[in-house]
Amino acid sequence: MTTTDRDRDDDGRAKQARPRDALGRPLPYGAVGVEPVSEEPLPPLETLTAARALLDDGRPFSAHEVLEARWKDCPEPERPLWQGLAQLCVGVTHARRGNPTGARRLLDRATSHLTAYAGTSGPTYGLDLDEVLDGARRCVETAVPE
């Protein structure tokens, strides 16, 4: 494969076929990486359960992918919720990769989306958004101290 070739799915869309590590970094072809997550969106509570399990397993990048699939498929009014949650996971990913600037930027974006969503009457599926944001802040601060 040349540098201009891209991995493609059966429909011709770009798709990463290289294995990835637990933080989503591509590994060489043929290496053993973590099990990829499905790109199919899950119902809200299943999405949250899957994302939580991936976070608990040290896979924030994969948790982001699960949340992103829901974000792209959810009702329009819920988009800030799912986008914010996905961005929190990307922020944690950046923190664990040692990228404090990226971690803080994603945390700020996520905070903006989730704070705006908290002001609506939209469902939170049992999440305490203030608690979720506090947990993400602690994770980023622990991984990338000021």
Domain ranges, ordered by start, for the chain:
1-36, 44-143
Region class of 14: left (phi > 0), else alpha (psi between -120 and 50), else beta: beta
The pTM score is 0.85
C-beta separation of 18 from 26 below 8 A: yes
Summary mean pLDDT of the chain: 88
CATH for 44-143?
1.10.3450.10
pLDDT band at 134 (very low <50, low <70, confident <90, very high): confident
